[in-house]
Chains A and B, each alone.
Chain A
Amino acid sequence: MTDRLITDVGGLPADAVPREEVPQLFWEKHMIAMFNVLWSKGVFNLDEFRRTVESMPLDAYKKSRFYDRRTDGMTDLLVEKGIIDRAELEARTQAVLRKGTRDAD
């Protein structure tokens, strides 16, 4: 099955389904809403987003979290389309982390 997409896990062997309820965090919900707005405004479409996930290295995909894949994929598309500069985003992300609060500036 070498030609499987990394996301195409249907039928592969796997362990028990984790049944723990994991509540969505506020930022995850907020991020999904922004994703929805960008998508409904036509900034990107769902097929483009899927392509960002499908082109991840397998190892990175396996280790990735669901909501991070959303943020990362959305970022990739915005960079690709020339809307966002990746270096600037990284610098500002680090600034948010240094500040340690949930305010953007």
Chain B
Amino acid sequence: MRISGWGNYPVIDSSVDSPLSPTQVEHCMLAGFNGIARGMGRSYGDSSLSSHVISGLSLHHLLDFDNETGVLRCQAGVTLADILDLFVPRGWFLPVTPGTKFVSVGGAIASDVHGKNHHIDGSFCEHITELDLMLADGRIERCSATHNRELFHATCGGMGLTGIILSAGIRLKPITSSYIDEVTLKAPDLTAIIEMFEQYLSSTYSVAWIDCAARGKRMGRSLLMLGEHAIDAPLRNATPHNRSLPFNMPEHTLNRYSIKAFNSVYYHRKFFARQQRRIHYDPYFYPLDGVLHWNRLYGKKGFTQYQFVLPQESSAEGMRQVLERIVSAGRGSPLAVLKSFGRENDNFLSFPRQGLQLALDFKINDGVFEFLNDLDSIVLDHGGRLYLTKDARMSEAMFKQSYPRWQQFMDVRTRYGADKVFNSLQSKRLGI
């Protein structure tokens, strides 16, 4: 069947197995499986693509829940949406959540996803108590931050390249309400937003939307959105959404003029310098999940997301250069997300590191790859790197320079025989 990542680029033909039990996954391994595991297909590029894939979505059972500690053990095909539906009314929340709840637990581990609380709570895998991994030879190995450490740190953020994640334990966090108290602050330019991230370091959640079409004095103008779990509000589930983009939009729906207009309206809709409101966690964390298949907005050719992080010391200067390059090329992005990360963790290929990160969407069209190559050199010059989960086009050289622990990662893969069995289009492109 035809499969692709969320960016609808690239699209390939693949044969997909959907095992119903760990034993059936083992049968796939013993029958000579060669390829990659796939969950909800929400990585953007080619991380979950290969001519043969194992879909983990039928392994979607909860295995155990401890009411005292909040540790949920579940199979890897369980989605974050499913966990929220069931556990929010019982007073538990995800310790870390990305910008969509339509990802599987296995995918969240393989990408070591991060969220708006990275500066305080780190990334998803820092809340994994242990995980069960099926190795290339069909054996199941349990690993954690204290047991089989190297395998654990290679698997967390390891893009599925060490084996098939079967199940994991997640430490949920207690909440007393399903609402978030949100404060939105206006930052008139890049210097201001960087200072504000510093100033509000103790906020549980913080993220900024940046107008990357603004130029001159207004360059980097942003809305900083801070959030805290509301204490005195009800525990209530999200209401199901049913809006969906039913088909691909015409290729020119998003152009430099519509994007500029959108950004301007979005920035000015917040009239006051500071606004406060209480909103349900669902629109707060997952605004785009409200429109299913929003990726079709970018048309049939698809899009790519360019997400990079720059180390603390060079972020201001590097970010300025990137924004200047975007403005001069006239390639804005309607939803650009800026975030200040906390410290780096021990996983070999995890993306976050202390500093500033920016995520931008670009439609696939003429010249976009040359343009992104230009951005690559700015990112590299400032010691930054790209998020593998969003990537569809980075060069091997750039990857190996910006992820210095890739060799250690390869050593672990080789030791467990994973290098000859687990691979994706991305891993082949990156030379791992």
> Does B associate with A?
no
Chain B residues in the interface with A (C-beta under 8 A): none
Chain A residues in the interface with B (C-beta under 8 A): none
